DNA sequence: CCTTGAACCTGGGCGC
DNA sequence: TGCGCCCAGGTTCAAG
């Protein structure tokens, strides 16, 4: 599910509830997700107050007043939801488990501060997500965060910067853009969308959009712009809600209605004057959608 | 070091 | 209704 725009949308949904709230209790309903939970996760979080909910690439960063930072990755199917606890009847002790609750793995029970008490619940059917814990001053040393490349938000991802990243890459563009060590935050959807916008084939070797002197080609400049644009537009739209994915507040993102390539197999290419059709191929085991006519 | 492919999981959709 | 197969937003690890 979650690529950078979805994680940013989750961050924006969680921040108002999480920030300034004290974690009264942290419930772990199993010993691990993709990896075991840090052994001291509960003792370091219970009683701590959340000071900030941030994001790096596809990672949520939940900082506390004790100098700890929870590093949360949502894998393919992870999601957070908020449950305000109002009108809980003391006699109601039986609650039929619905389907989604069977994959509630982590529950942050927040203390009632200046409002109603709430729970923030991490749910993840496939359990590809994971949680790590680091000291705020040592995030650069974290095994998950330290290898990450450029954030595709803001202006860091310029044409020349992208050329520098791709100059010696002997992989198809698709694989290069998915490599989190180069650009951090893109996933299968937004790579397909960015390549479609830049009219570049996902099969093209990455280094071929860099000129011999190391300067970016026109297409490389366009690709950098396309990546920044598709990411910022998706964030504006509240991310994409595929399948059953919804935001922390239960609402749906709507960027999926703007897909030009991803999932559009057999549809006509939307580029002006192009009469091509969107095709689906498999690259390194994953679906790629692109126009075989205009994407070169 | 570089690149590719399998593995990790569950659930939904489809054809039979 | 059930079974088997394919597919899904990501990452790590082993092997070439």
Active-site residue (options: A2, A152, A202, A216): A2
pLDDT of residue A96: 44
> What is the Cα Rg of chain A in Å?
21
pLDDT per residue, tens digit, chain A (296 aa), is 699 999 999 999 999 999 999 999 999 999 999 999 999 999 999 999 999 999 999 999 999 999 999 999 999 999 999 988 765 544 434 434 455 788 999 999 999 766 678 999 999 999 999 999 999 999 999 999 999 999 999 899 999 999 999 999 999 999 999 999 999 999 999 999 999 999 999 999 999 999 999 999 999 999 999 999 999 999 998 888 655 455 666 666 778 778 999 999 999 999 999 999 999 999 988 999 999 999 99
**Cβ < 7 Å from strand B, A residues 162-181:** 169-172, 175
Q: Are A132 and A38 in contact (CB under 8 A)?
A: yes
A108/C7 CA-to-C1' distance in Å? 33
Q: Does residue A2 have an active-site annotation?
A: yes
pLDDT of residue A249: 64
A286 touches strand B (CB under 7 A): no
pLDDT of residue A94: 45
pLDDT of residue A95: 39
Strand C footprint nucleotides (protein C-beta < 7 Å): 7-12
**Cβ < 7 Å from strand C, A residues 18-77:** 34, 57-58, 73, 75-77
Q: Does residue A286 have an active-site annotation?
A: yes
A243/B12 CA-to-C1' distance in Å? 9
């Amino acid at each position: 599910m979650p690529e950078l725009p979805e994680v940013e949308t989750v961050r924006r949904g969680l921040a108002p509830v999480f920030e300034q709230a004290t974690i009264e209790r942290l419930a772990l309903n199993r010993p691990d997700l993709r990896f075991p939970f840090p052994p001291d996760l509960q003792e370091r979080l219970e009683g701590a107050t959340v000071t900030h909910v941030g994001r790096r690439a596809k990672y949520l960063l939940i900082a506390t007043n004790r100098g700890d930072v929870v590093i949360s990755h949502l894998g393919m199917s992870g999601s957070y939801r908020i449950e305000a606890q109002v009108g809980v009847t003391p006699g109601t002790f039986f609650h039929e488990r619905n389907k989604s609750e069977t994959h509630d793995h982590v529950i942050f029970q927040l203390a009632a501060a200046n409002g109603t008490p709430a729970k923030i619940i991490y749910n993840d059917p496939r359990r590809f997500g994971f949680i790590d814990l680091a000291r705020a001053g040592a995030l650069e040393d974290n095994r998950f965060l330290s290898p990450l490349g450029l954030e595709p938000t803001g202006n860091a991802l310029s044409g020349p910067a992208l050329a520098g990243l791709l100059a010696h890459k002997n992989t198809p563009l698709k694989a290069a853009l998915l490599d989190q060590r180069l650009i951090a935050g893109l996933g299968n959807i937004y790579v397909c969308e960015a390549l479609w916008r830049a009219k570049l084939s996902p099969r093209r070797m990455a280094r071929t959009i860099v000129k011999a002197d190391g300067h970016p080609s026109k297409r490389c400049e366009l690709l950098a712009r396309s990546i920044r644009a598709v990411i910022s537009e998706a964030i504006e739209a509240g991310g994409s809600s595929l399948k059953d994915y919804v935001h922390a507040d239960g609402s749906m993102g709507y960027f999926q209605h703007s897909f030009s390539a991803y999932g559009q197999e057999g549809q006509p290419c939307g580029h002006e004057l192009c009469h091509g059709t969107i095709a689906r191929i498999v690259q390194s085991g994953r679906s790629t959608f692109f126009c075989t006519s205009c994407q070169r």
